[in-house]
Amino acid sequence: MNRLIILMLALLTLGASSPLALAQPDKDALKAQFKARETQLRELKKRGQLGETVEGYIAAVDSKTAVDTTIAKLIDDENADRRRLYQLLADEINKENPKEPVKATQETLAIRNANRNIERAGPDEFLRVAPDHWIRIKDFPDHQKITKLKTQGKVGENASGLLEIVQDADRGDSTLTSLVERENARRNADYQSLAANESTSLADIQKRIAARNQRNARIGDMIKDESGNWRKK
């Protein structure tokens, strides 16, 4: 009996220090874990291997980085801790404001943190704004303007991976025209770089990105097909 009790106590002691037992750290523990990864994450962001997402998490920018097991674990650990923190904060807010009809959620806290991370990021760091769609932080203000214009039906994605003004009547708007030209200049530069790096044709890159952009388009956004016809998604 004594041997059984000793064995059970040993297992409980082991379990108390296991990852499972520490699966729900408090805010102080999470803060320490974030601090421990901060330098490494910052360096990977500067190298263009990792970036923030508009959902409030981090991700690998390229496929080579994504399959690096060390970096993949770093990403998983960081995002797991962010999810825990967002939930802890949401629970605290809801406890402090029990009568609020709209409850704080993990998702709303994540988006709030995403906005803060975007403000703090370097201009040349990457930001994922949609599946497989990365931009530089410095280009985010233009991206927000374009998103709003898409909602208004003024611009849309064409079959060549470029942004285009939908209505002829809007082509005389110099501010709108300047924004579209600036965006397409960035895209064309990126497409040429991708074609060179992947040893493929510019046309193939344009076709692939056009498919991605149209796939990521929201309901109601304007899309131009290869025949030159506009339609709402």
Query: Are 127 and 137 a contacting pair, CB within 8 Å?
Result: yes
Per-residue model confidence as pLDDT tens digits over 95-117: 999 999 999 999 999 999 999 99
Query: Are 214 and 157 a contacting pair, CB within 8 Å?
Result: yes
Q: Give the whole-angstrom CA distance, residue 202 versus residue 177.
A: 24
Query: String of b and e for 155-167 (b: at least 16 CB within 10 Å)?
Result: bbbbbbbbbebbe
Give residue limits of the domains in the chain.
30-130, 139-233
Query: Are 114 and 51 a contacting pair, CB within 8 Å?
Result: no
Q: Which residue type is seen at 222?
A: M
| Tens-binned pLDDT, residue by residue, of the chain (233 aa) | 444 333 333 333 333 333 433 345 788 999 999 999 999 999 999 999 999 999 999 999 999 999 999 999 999 999 999 999 999 999 999 999 999 999 999 999 999 999 999 999 999 999 999 999 999 999 999 999 999 999 999 999 999 999 999 999 999 999 999 999 999 999 999 999 999 999 999 999 999 999 999 999 999 999 999 999 999 99
Q: SS3 of 162, please?
A: coil
Read off the pTM.
0.85
Identify the CA nearest to 161 among candidates 198, 125, 202, 193: 202
Query: Are 196 and 184 a contacting pair, CB within 8 Å?
Result: no
